[in-house]
Amino acid sequence: MKLLFTSVTMLFFSIIFSQNDDFTSNLYKTYDSFKEESLTHRRIKYKDLQPLISKLKKESKYTVKKVGESIEGKDLNLISIGTGKTTVFLWSQMHGDEPTATQAIFDIFNFIDSDDFFDEKKELLSNLTLHFLPMLNPDGAEIYTRRNALGIDINRDALRLQSPEGRVLKKVRDSLDADFGFNLHDQSIYYNAERTDKTATISYLAPAYNYEKDINEVRANAMKIIVFMNTVIQKYAPGQVGRYNDDFEPRAFGDNIQKWGTSAILIESGGYKNDVEKQEIRKLNYVSILAAIYTIANGSYNDISIEDYEKIPQNDRKLLDLKIKGVTYNLLGKDYIIDIGINRAEVDNEDYSSFYNVGRVADQGDLSTFFGYETLDAENYSIEAGKVYPEVFKAIKDIEDLDIYKLLKDGYTYLKVENLPKDSRFVNKPIHLVNSAFKAPELKIKVGVNATFLLKKDAEIKYAVINGFLINLDDSETNFKNALIYK
C-alpha cells in the first residue's frame, strides 16, 4: 500500500511539473500580447501609472485601495485580486531607480485581464489572493534615485519606521499576514554569476532572518520557489542567474518580513547585453513571477529540494561595459602591456526622463578575472592619442556632412565648433565637440579619466574608443550612444 501511495504521489507531481513547464514556456512565447505598451523605458514616473491604476479601479474583479502616501503626498495603492486562502504580497520600486518589476506588474495585470490561459488563471485566482503594491517610492522614482524624499533608504527602515512608505509596507504586510512576499528590485548591471562571464541578469535571495542564517519552514519555502524560478529562467538566460548575498541585515525589510512569518523572495534585475532599457529583463520578471505564483497555487513547490538553492552561483561584481585586453601602452618612452576596463555612467537630463553616457576608465592592469559585456583582444594593438581637427566650424549644422569615420581613421577625436549649444552636454555623433580654444589632453590612461583614444595596429588606426564606446573603423560596427560637448 505504501509503495502504491508513493507511486501515485510521484505521478501526481510529475503531471503538475509538466503542466508548470508548459505554462511557463507559453508565458514566454506570448509575452508581447500582454506587454503594457505605455511603459517603454526605465525612467517611469508616478503619473505614468495613474491611467493604468484608474483603469483597474473600474474593473470589478480588482480591489484598489489607497493604503498611504509618500512624503510628497503621492498615493500608495494596494491592488488586490483573487479569492484563495493563500495570500501573496508583491511590492516593487522601494528604490526609485529600480523600476523593472513595476513594469512587469502591469504586464501581469494585462495577462489577468485577457481571455487567454483561462484554466491556469482560474487555478491561480481560486487558490491565491494576490496583492500588488507597485512603486512604493514614487518620490524617488520622480528623480530616478534610490532614496526617498527624506533621503533615506526605505529598505533600511524596517525597525525605526521613520518613512511613511516603510510604515505602509509594514502595515500592509501585517494586515495581510501574507504567506508569500515578493520583494522586487534592480541590481547593478555589473554583477556576474560568480567565476563566469555571464551577467547576473536575474538574482534571487531567500533572506536570512537571523545572523546564524537558520533555515525554518518559512525560509525553506522561499528557497523552494527560487529553485523553481531558476529552472524556468535558465531556459531563456542560461547561466545568467545569480544568488544574492544572504548576510543578515537587521534593518532590512526582506530579512524582517522573513522573520515575521512571510516567505520572502527577493528578485533582483541586473543586466543583459544590448538591453539598455531592460525590456528583455522585464519579460523575464513577468515569466519568473507568474511561474512562481503558479507553483504556489498548485502546491508543486512543496516537492522541490532546497539543496538546489545553494547550487545557484553567487553574485560577483566582475563585469565591465568594455574590456580591452592586452593592449600596448607607451608611458615615458617605455611600452607596457595592460588591460583596460571601461564603464559608462548614466547622467540624467533635467527632468530625469532620459540620460546620456560618460565613459570612464574603471580599472587597468591585470584584469584577467574580469569580464566585459564587450571584449576586444588588443594583442599587437597600441594606444594612440586623439587629435583636434584644425578647422573651426561655425555651428553643429556645419558638421552634418562630414565623414566622421574617416576623421577617426585619420586620428581626429575632437571637432572645434564656435557656437556650441548651451543646453546640451552630449552629441549623438562618435566624435567630441569642443570650443575653439580647446587643446587635446595628453594621453594618460588612469582610473576616472574619460575613455577616449585610438587603437593602432600595423601603423593603421583600426578602432576608436570615444567616450567609452568601441568603434570598429573597418565596418563602423558599434553600439555607440553619445560623445561629449566640452565648452
Q: Are strands 319-331 and 334-348 parallel, antiparallel or unpaired?
A: antiparallel
Residues 337 and 296 in one domain: no
pLDDT of 11 strictly over 70: no
In a domain, 306, yes or no: yes
Q: How far apart are CA 16 and CA 229, in angstroms?
A: 15
pLDDT of 5 strictly over 60: no
What is the mean pLDDT of the segment spanning 385-403?
95
Q: Which of 152-161, 280-289, 475-484 has the lowest mean pLDDT?
A: 475-484
What is the mean pLDDT of the segment spanning 36-65?
97
Residue 207 · residue 290 · CB < 8 Å: no
Last residue of a domain, one of 273, 288, 316: 316
In a domain, 471, yes or no: yes
Looking at per-residue confidence, does 44 or 475 come out higher? 44
Dihedral sign for Cα 470, 476, 481, 482, please.
positive
Sequence-distant (6+) residues with CB within 8 A of 409 are 461, 473
Q: How far apart are CA 359 and CA 371, in angstroms?
A: 17
pLDDT of residue 18: 63
CA 284 to chain centre: 11
Residues 297 and 326 in one domain: no
Q: What percent of the chain has pLDDT over 70?
A: 96
**Cell, residue 58:** 473600474
Domain containing 226: what range? 9-316
Last residue of a domain, one of 265, 296, 316: 316
Residue 192 · residue 240 · CB < 8 Å: no
CATH of the domain at 356: 2.30.40.10
In a domain, 1, yes or no: no
Residues 64 and 25 in one domain: yes
Q: What is the DSSP letter of 313?
A: P
pLDDT of residue 478: 79
pLDDT of residue 13: 42
pLDDT of residue 398: 95
pLDDT of 12 strictly over 50: no
Q: What percent of the chain has pLDDT over 90?
A: 93
3-state secondary structure of 158: coil
3-state secondary structure of 254: helix
Residues 181 and 115 in one domain: yes
Residues 245 and 393 in one domain: no
CATH of the domain at 42: 3.40.630.10
Residues 334 and 307 in one domain: no
* Tens-place pLDDT, residues 78-102: 999 999 999 999 999 999 999 999 9
**Number of domains comprising the chain:** 2
Residues 249 and 366 in one domain: no
pLDDT band, very low/low/confident/very high, at 378 (cuts 50, 70, 90): very high
Residues 43 and 110 in one domain: yes
Residues 167 and 286 in one domain: yes
Residues 117 and 159 in one domain: yes
pLDDT of residue 20: 80
The counts of H helices and E strands in the chain are 10, 23
Residues 193 and 329 in one domain: no
**Cell, residue 88:** 501573496
pLDDT of residue 19: 67
In a domain, 4, yes or no: no
Mean pLDDT, the chain, rounded, equals: 95
Last residue of a domain, one of 259, 288, 316: 316
In a domain, 100, yes or no: yes
What's the predicted TM-score (pTM) here? 0.93
In a domain, 2, yes or no: no
Sequence-distant (6+) residues with CB within 8 A of 13 are 300, 303
Residues 208 and 155 in one domain: yes
In a domain, 20, yes or no: yes
Dihedral angle at the C-alpha atoms of 437, 440, 444, 447, nearest 10 degrees? 60
* Tens-place pLDDT, residues 325-352: 999 999 999 999 999 999 999 999 999 9
pLDDT of residue 475: 86
Q: Which of 45-59, 259-273, 360-374, 463-477 has the lowest mean pLDDT?
A: 463-477
In a domain, 421, yes or no: yes
Sequence-distant (6+) residues with CB within 8 A of 58 are none
Element housing 36 (H / E) = none
* Tens-place pLDDT, residues 438-487: 999 899 999 999 999 999 999 999 999 999 999 999 987 778 999 999 99
Of the candidates 180, 159, 165, the residue with the CA atom closest to the CA atom of residue 250: 159
